[in-house]
Amino acid sequence: MESSRSKNAHRWPHLRWVILATDCLILALNYGDRSAISIAAPFIMKDFHFTEAQFGIILSIFFVGYVPFCFIGGWTSDKFGPRKIMTWATLVWSIFVAATVVGFNFVSFLIIRALFGFGEGPQGAVMTKTMSNWFPQRELGTSVGIAQAATPLGGAIATPIIVALLVGSHDNWRIPFIIMGAVGILFAIGWFVIIRDKPEQHPWITAQELKKIREGALARRPEYLEDGSTPRMITYLKMPLVWSTAWAFFGYAWVLYTFLSWFPEYLLQKQHISLSSLAVAGAIPWLAGAVACALGGIATDWIGKKTGHPAVARKWMIVVCLLLVALLFTPIGMITSAVVAVALMALIVFLLYLTTAQYFAIIGDVVPSSRLGGVMGLVHLIANLAGVIAPVVTGFLISGSNNWTAAFGIAAAICLTGSLSMAFFARIDRTRKLTAGIPAGQVDRVGVVSDNER
């Protein structure tokens, strides 16, 4: 009896939310580290005499490393588990964000940023797999939405912190990179200590919480097919839904990376705001995005519970919001008021981030856990090809001619095609139906362990 009480004393009744909170910290750091170079851009460009076109290439080269590791990270998380993969990924990106300070010319910045991208790439697919393992389907949109809300929140928090460090160090742009790299190493250690790949493997899980995750309407998605077999990845690559989601995600990403890479420069150059004002103006759209990200996931989960079809709710959230983003993004470059520009961008980012959780959750709705990392990784890879192209295209358009209107107009047009592809080609009713629980006879395969084995 005493031994049983002792064991229960070390278990947490809502452990899945602790796992989510830990993931939020990692994702906030991920985006904070990523946005640091955009905030420091004017100082780096001045020190090394980079043109806008050159700096656009530096921003884009990040995705040369990032994009392949979206898939590689997801695929390896299917094989080795999200705990190990995210630990290594966080260590790698933290080392190379700190290494930014040793950049000394154009080529050296290209190399450092590409290696930094290697580390940051796995986060999307690994997050999706972690949330799918730890949450029932009825909470998947909420958990992914809250986790992804940490990404714009990371940008919102990082902006004033980095600006304060720049001001406090008399514009020494190297200081923020050193500090953020050190913080990242501490976060990687924390992730490894707290996280387990599945709730069944965690020593702190309670039987009651495990039951909530695995049972009831829209329970956790199964790891295997109904017959207990591991599905082939090609099965899911034949789905129009997967490719439509990938293209819609690409349109979303083009707008996002145009904003992420160039909005601080737009405010400084086009709207002529001061560095101190940038700390506030640059953070406002991120805060709007953080709220929208969580609301989008919560909303589609709520609709899914009412209708029994969460994937349908996620599809139409993407269609409507991307359409509105496309309509609103075009005139940003023609606005002459900084206040109006920031307000409109905040609205655009709010609508954009209402869809963020949907790309991850809709794939989680139709792909079993054993293949989710790889399929989501491929979708994330395609989306982030926009990160390779968009900053370079934007950089060349604004270099010399300062043609912000054309840059934002192209982004809006690509976003519109994403909305249309989702509306007309995402045939959710043709996806294969999976069981709501663990297939009979497969308990050992999903890693369920007894109290004594924990």
Structure confidence by residue, pLDDT tens digits, 272-307: 666 566 666 667 777 888 899 999 999 999 998 888
Q: Is residue 268 scored above 70 in pLDDT?
A: no
pLDDT at residue 453, rounded to an integer: 33
> With 0-12 CB in 10 A as exposed, 13-18 as middle and 19+ as buried, what is 339?
exposed
Q: Which of 46, 45, 63, 66 is closest to 54 using CA atoms?
A: 45
Q: Is residue 361 scored above 80 in pLDDT?
A: yes
- How many helices (H) and strands (E) the chain has is answered by 19, 0
Written in H, E and C, the secondary structure of 204-269 is CCCHHHHHHHHCCCCCCCCCCCCCCCCCCHHHHHCCHHHHHHHHHHHHHHHHHHHHHHHHHHHHHH
Higher pLDDT, 126 or 272: 126
Is there a contact between 242 and 379 (Cβ–Cβ < 8 Å)? yes
Where does residue 308 fall: left (phi above 0), alpha (psi -120 to 50 degrees), or beta otherwise?
A: left
Is there a contact between 64 and 111 (Cβ–Cβ < 8 Å)? no
Give the 3-state secondary structure of residue 177.
Answer: helix
pLDDT tens by residue, 155-179: 778 888 898 999 888 889 999 999 9
Reported as a pLDDT band with limits 50, 70 and 90, residue 432 is: very low
* Rounded Cα distance, 14 and 21, in Å: 11
Q: Encoding tokens for residue 24? A: 């939020």
Reported as a pLDDT band with limits 50, 70 and 90, residue 452 is: very low
Q: Is residue 199 scored above 90 in pLDDT?
A: yes
Q: Which of 118, 100, 7, 15 is closest to 58 using CA atoms?
A: 100
pLDDT at residue 279, rounded to an integer: 62
* Rounded Cα distance, 403 and 163, in Å: 27
Rounded CA Rg of the chain? 22
Q: Please tell me what DSSP assigns to residue 429.
A: G
What is the model's pTM?
A: 0.81
pLDDT at residue 271, rounded to an integer: 61
The CATH code for residues 10-200+210-217+224-430 is: 1.20.1250.20
Residue ranges of domains in the chain: 10-200+210-217+224-430
pLDDT at residue 75, rounded to an integer: 94
Q: What does pLDDT average to over the chain?
A: 84
Q: Give the percent of the chain with pLDDT over 70.
A: 84
pLDDT at residue 334, rounded to an integer: 73
Q: Which of 319, 321, 326, 318 is closest to 413 using CA atoms?
A: 326
pLDDT at residue 12, rounded to an integer: 83
Is there a contact between 239 and 379 (Cβ–Cβ < 8 Å)? no
pLDDT at residue 137, rounded to an integer: 87
**Number of other residues whose CB lies within 10 A of the CB of residue 341:** 23
Reported as a pLDDT band with limits 50, 70 and 90, residue 413 is: very high
Q: Is residue 142 scored above 50 in pLDDT?
A: yes
Q: Which of 241, 245, 240, 262 is closest to 387 using CA atoms?
A: 262
- Alpha helices of 99-219 — where are they, by DSSP H? 106-120, 123-134, 140-168, 174-194, 207-214
Q: Give the percent of the chain with pLDDT over 90.
A: 50
Is there a contact between 359 and 318 (Cβ–Cβ < 8 Å)? yes
Reported as a pLDDT band with limits 50, 70 and 90, residue 447 is: very low
pLDDT at residue 426, rounded to an integer: 86
Is there a contact between 67 and 121 (Cβ–Cβ < 8 Å)? yes
Which of 65-74, 123-132, 356-365, 388-397 has the weakest average pLDDT?
388-397
Reported as a pLDDT band with limits 50, 70 and 90, residue 317 is: very high
Q: Encoding tokens for residue 80? A: 């080795």
* Rounded Cα distance, 359 and 371, in Å: 16
